[in-house]
Amino acid sequence: MKLLIDRDLACIAPILHSYGYAAEVCSSEKFAREAPGADKSARLLIAAADKFGILTKKMGGECGLLFLEDPVACPRNIKRIVIPLLASSRFEVCERITLVSASAQRRITRYEYKDGLQVSRTVIPQGSSETLLGHGGGSKSPLLTVGIQKAGICDFRAPYEATWKGLDLHILGVLVSGEATLGFNGEAQSLRAGETFFAAAGAECRCRMTKDGMFCWFYLLPEFCPPLSADAEVYAGLSPSPEAFLTYLLRYIEESSSPFADSQSVMSSLTGIIRQMMRRHLLALGLSAEENGSRRRNIQKAIQTLHSNGSKAWSVEDLAREAGCSVAQFHRLTQKILCKTPGQMIRETHMQQAGELLARTDYKLERIASLVGYSDAFSFARAFKKYIGESPGRYRERYRNPSAFPKSLAS
């Protein structure tokens, strides 16, 4: 990859040279006017942020573009931000456009663009540091061979925040320590240390860190991932061994800068372990089609158990155990499969059974209440009226004739 630096930022060329980059100072306007057929795909143009509009319009997709605001173009921030970016695989995809800016609060805000549209935004507060998993001197990162387009470890300070929208890569995040809030589809979910989240390619979500800690993240190529269920979008759950995962990632980073001749071989071995641990995280979230299909069958089994034991005072935890999954996963799957919450499913089952008993038997309310999981007739009558819209006595009078029994409750 050839680095080209706009004349306005010529002062950063010596810094890049000191890190071994062959950077050439040129006129960005002249470069943009080159013939459309010219091969620009292996080049990265670094320019000032005030030229973002004109250059992205003329050159978006033709080469890598990196825009820097004035505060970023100082030696400290070039070493802290730009050098790690260049060491990543970020600019191997020519459509990637990155804008790095610094706010008055000394936060670094990083943007990524594709086809002229913003696909990610990351706010990095002062005191945070991010280490990207590098190449180890090779022309191609071993991580790419297992579908990891980019990965990193962030030692963050709140309120570090990352937002994605329309990115063509899956995102896997592992919160090793600290606390965060995951926002998607207008909802917010808390994440604690030891939990992970997954956002499918194209999904819109935001991860905001609310307590200082450490965060590992991965951009995954969809074609390398296990087949996902059709409803996969944004999921969160417990992480299998986050500390062990972090250990292997740190060792990979250490080897990527190692002077030993066998470092590339060690990195390849570590890549296999990282890939397997990443796959475990995806399976733990129930994201593969095979795994999701198995859990759908378990959900159906739990529903059958509920229907056949309606007199038991079922809790959501009881049904989750029957389905062989966590309470959070049970909530998500019932909403996806049945379009209702577990609580609604339990209440609906009890009311269906109560309606049948009222219409087809002479049982007293006390007995019907006990048969559908209620401790007394009063609480049952109140719940029944709230759900059906009329009292048990009125309902019994209305539907005493079996032929008049409502189909929705008879099914």
For residue 196, what is the domain's CATH number?
2.60.120.280
Q: Which residue has the higher pLDDT, 9 or 115?
A: 9
**Single residue among 91, 124, 157 that ends a domain in this structure:** 124
Measured distance CA(233)–CA(209) in Å, rounded: 21
Q: Does residue 304 share a domain with residue 279?
A: no
Q: Is the pLDDT of residue 96 over 70?
A: no
The pLDDT score that the predictor gives to residue 179 is 92
Q: Does residue 184 share a domain with residue 90?
A: no
User: Does an H or E element contain 64, and which?
Assistant: strand 64-68
Average pLDDT estimate for 87-91 = 51
Question: For residue 207, what pLDDT band results from cuts at 50, 70 and 90?
Answer: very high
Q: Does residue 399 share a domain with residue 355?
A: yes
Measured distance CA(66)–CA(168) in Å, rounded: 19
DSSP string covering 342-354: HHHHHHHHHHHHH
Q: Is the pLDDT of residue 138 over 50?
A: no
**Single residue among 124, 141, 166 that ends a domain in this structure:** 124
Measured distance CA(99)–CA(112) in Å, rounded: 7
Q: Does residue 399 share a domain with residue 373?
A: yes
Cis peptide upstream of residue 159 (ω within 30 degrees of 0): yes
Task: Give the other-Cβ count within 10 Å of 87's Cβ.
Answer: 16
Q: Does residue 137 share a domain with residue 257?
A: yes
The pLDDT score that the predictor gives to residue 180 is 92
Q: Does residue 380 share a domain with residue 267?
A: no
Q: Is the pLDDT of residue 333 over 60?
A: yes
Question: For residue 210, what pLDDT band results from cuts at 50, 70 and 90?
Answer: very high
Q: Which residue has the higher pLDDT, 119 or 62?
A: 119
The pLDDT score that the predictor gives to residue 139 is 44
Provide the residue range defining the domain that includes 95.
1-124
Alpha helices in 33-180 (DSSP H): 52-59, 75-77, 83-87
Q: Does residue 242 share a domain with residue 135?
A: yes
Question: For residue 80, what pLDDT band results from cuts at 50, 70 and 90?
Answer: confident
Q: Does residue 280 share a domain with residue 345?
A: no
Q: Is the pLDDT of residue 397 over 80?
A: yes
Write down the mean pLDDT value for the chain: 77
The pLDDT score that the predictor gives to residue 410 is 38
**Single residue among 232, 251, 285 that ends a domain in this structure:** 285
The pLDDT score that the predictor gives to residue 353 is 83
The pLDDT score that the predictor gives to residue 206 is 92
The pLDDT score that the predictor gives to residue 94 is 41
Among candidate residues 183, 324, 296, the one with its CA nearest the CA of residue 230: 296
Q: Which residue has the higher pLDDT, 86 or 121?
A: 121
Q: Is the pLDDT of residue 13 over 80?
A: yes
Residue 391 and residue 354 in contact, taking contact as beta carbons nearer than 8 Å:
no
Average pLDDT estimate for 259-267 = 79
Task: Give the other-Cβ count within 10 Å of 337's Cβ.
Answer: 15
Q: Is the pLDDT of residue 48 over 80?
A: yes
Read off the pLDDT of residues 336-379 as tens digits, 9 standing for 90 and up.
666 678 888 888 888 888 888 888 888 899 999 888 888 889 99
Q: Does residue 156 share a domain with residue 227?
A: yes
Q: Is the pLDDT of residue 145 over 60?
A: yes
| High-pLDDT (> 70) share of the chain, % | 79
For residue 73, what is the domain's CATH number?
3.40.50
Read off the pLDDT of residues 276-313 as tens digits, 9 standing for 90 and up.
888 777 776 766 555 555 666 677 778 778 777 766 77
Q: Which residues contact 246 (CB under 8 A, 6 or more apart)?
A: 153, 174, 176, 214, 216
Q: Does residue 258 share a domain with residue 133?
A: yes
Q: Does residue 268 share a domain with residue 321?
A: no
Average pLDDT estimate for 83-112 = 62
Q: Does residue 268 share a domain with residue 132?
A: yes
Measured distance CA(383)–CA(247) in Å, rounded: 53
For residue 404, what is the domain's CATH number?
1.10.10.60
Beta bridge partners of 199: 171, 234
- Number of domains present in the structure of the chain: 3
Question: For residue 212, what pLDDT band results from cuts at 50, 70 and 90?
Answer: very high
